[in-house]
Structure 1
Amino acid sequence: MLSARSLFQEILDDDESFRLFCSIAASGESQGGWENARIAALVPPGERGLAPKIARHGADEDKHGRIFRALLKKRGLAPAPVPPETDYTALLERHGIGLAHDRLRADRPLGVPDIVTYLAHSRVTEQRASEQMELLRRHFADHPDMGRAVRMISDDEDNHLAYCHEELLRLAAAGHGRAIQRTLRACALAEIRIYRDVSLAVMAHMGRILGWPGAKSALLALGIHAVYAYERVLGWRRMVSLRMPEHRNALDRPATEYA
């Protein structure tokens, strides 16, 4: 029977598919680390209290990149080149979601609208990351090689999502509510399309590596399209709602490191 667990298990059991999986993940996390570090350095004067939280967010993303590279090293594998069509983070930036890298490379402070854009983008993408890691945690929390990494990254992604909710609600109370909702909706609708395209590309590469029969690849592609159809009609709304998290100040807590 084709299930999320059996699919991930098949990818993890094969060195080449595992190598590609970890390489894609490490690349995206490292890119997110750079983006957050630059944003932390450019926070406008009136929002300087955010800088340590954004820097912590970036440090966590860097840590996740190191974790995936460590998993590769543990199996004696070198990172694989990341196919451009599987680069979720780069594709989001290319489609104008979040802050452009050219803007982040410029040494001039961001404005509050930029911070709204950053937090809205993060709220949408962290929702995806939190859900993906929860899925892996459900099936592989006790895996001898992946378990500790999955649990740690899952906790971090939940903290990042909570922080985005809290800060966006603070900015909404300060009068930015309409801009926040408009930006969240645009980010969510773009993200679900890019996530579909990246998912199809990743599964195509995995299918070639693992020698999947055409029927299996077609069934997986059908499932990805079905998820997109649901998200396009209704599911995107979960990415734009805001609620105060149960645990406040999630990024003020001590960071955990992966050894």
Structure 2
Amino acid sequence: MLSARSLFQEIIDHDDSFQLFCSIAASGESQGGWENGRIAALVPDGMADLAPKIARHGADEDKHGRIFDALLHKRGLEPVPVPPETDYTMLLERHGIGLPHDKLRREEPLTEKDIVVYLAHSRVTEQRAADQMDMLVKHFGNHPELGKAIRMICNDEDNHLAYCHEELLRLAAAGHGRTIQGVLRESALTEIKVYRDVSLAVMAEMGRVLRWPRAKSAALTAGIQAMYGYERFGGWHRMISLRMPERRGALNGPPTVAPAF
């Protein structure tokens, strides 16, 4: 019977599929680290209080990329090129989610609206990241090879999501509510399509590597499409709600280190 646990177990048990999984994850995290680092450097003067938190977010993402690279190296594996159709971060940017890279490469300060849009985009994508890590911790939190890594990343993703909620609520109270609401809705509806397409591409790559029979690949494709149907019908609403988190000031202070990696 197909399940998230059995599927992921199969992927991590095979060196080639594990190599691809960690390479995709490391690439996305490293890209997120660069983006947040550039945004932190370009925060407008009127929002300077956010710069250390955005920098902390970027440092966490960089750390996650190093963790996935370390998991590869522990098996004697090297990162492999990421197929473009599996590059979640790149495809999000191509669809307008995230600040354009050409803007981030300049040395011009961002606008206040840019920061509001960035945080709204992050609230959506961090929900996806937190959901995925919660699932992995549920099934593999005690795994001898992966458990410590995914628990650490999961805690960071929960912090990132809490920070997005808290800062967006503060900005909404300061008069940005209408912008935030519109960006959240547009971002969520775009993200669920990108996530579906990336999921289909990743499963196709894994099927090729693991030589899945057509029936298994078809069942997984149907499952991904069904999940998209659920999210398109109403599941996307979980990605746009805002509530004050239990973790207040989640990104205050320096980033946590990962000495084991």
The answer, yes or no, to whether TM exceeds 0.5 is: yes
Shift of 1:219: 0.4
Match of 1:61 in 2: 61
Amino acid at match of 2:56: R
Match of 1:70 in 2: 70
Amino acid at match of 2:159: N
- Mapping for residues 99-248 of structure 1, pairs under 5 Å: 99-248=99-248
**1:143-193 CA deviation, whole Å, 9 max, x = no partner?**
111000000000000000000000000000000000000000010000000
Distance 2:30 2:23 in 1: 11
Q: Does 1:30 align with 2:34?
A: no
Q: SS at 2:77's partner residue?
A: coil
What RMSD in Å do the two structures reach over aligned CA positions? Answer: 0.6
Distance 1:86 1:92 in 2: 11
Count of residue pairs brought into register by the alignment: 259
Shift of 1:130: 0.1
After TM superposition, the score normalised by the length of structure 1 is 0.99
Mapped contact 2:165–2:244 kept (Cα < 8 A): yes
Shift of 1:254: 4.7
Distance 1:122 1:96 in 2: 13
Distance 2:163 2:54 in 1: 10
Q: Which runs of 5+ in 2 are unaligned?
A: none
**1:53-72 CA deviation, whole Å, 9 max, x = no partner?**
00000000000000000000
Q: SS at 2:80's partner residue?
A: coil
**1:56-95 CA deviation, whole Å, 9 max, x = no partner?**
0000000000000000000000101100000000000111
Q: SS at 1:251's partner residue?
A: coil
Q: SS at 2:98's partner residue?
A: coil
Q: SS at 2:145's partner residue?
A: coil
Identity %: 75
Match of 1:47 in 2: 47
Distance 2:253 2:25 in 1: 25
Distance 1:149 1:253 in 2: 21
Distance 1:93 1:65 in 2: 19
Amino acid at match of 1:143: H
Q: SS at 2:188's partner residue?
A: helix
Q: Which moves more between the two structures, 90-99 or 26-35?
A: 90-99
Mapped contact 2:56–2:254 kept (Cα < 8 A): no
Shift of 1:96: 1.1
Distance 2:142 2:253 in 1: 25
Distance 1:20 1:170 in 2: 40
Amino acid at match of 2:55: A
Distance 1:30 1:45 in 2: 26
Shift of 1:113: 0.7
Amino acid at match of 2:69: R
Distance 2:15 2:175 in 1: 51
Distance 2:182 2:171 in 1: 14
Distance 1:255 1:41 in 2: 17
Distance 2:16 2:202 in 1: 13
Shift of 1:255: 2.7
Q: Which runs of 5+ in 1 are unaligned?
A: none
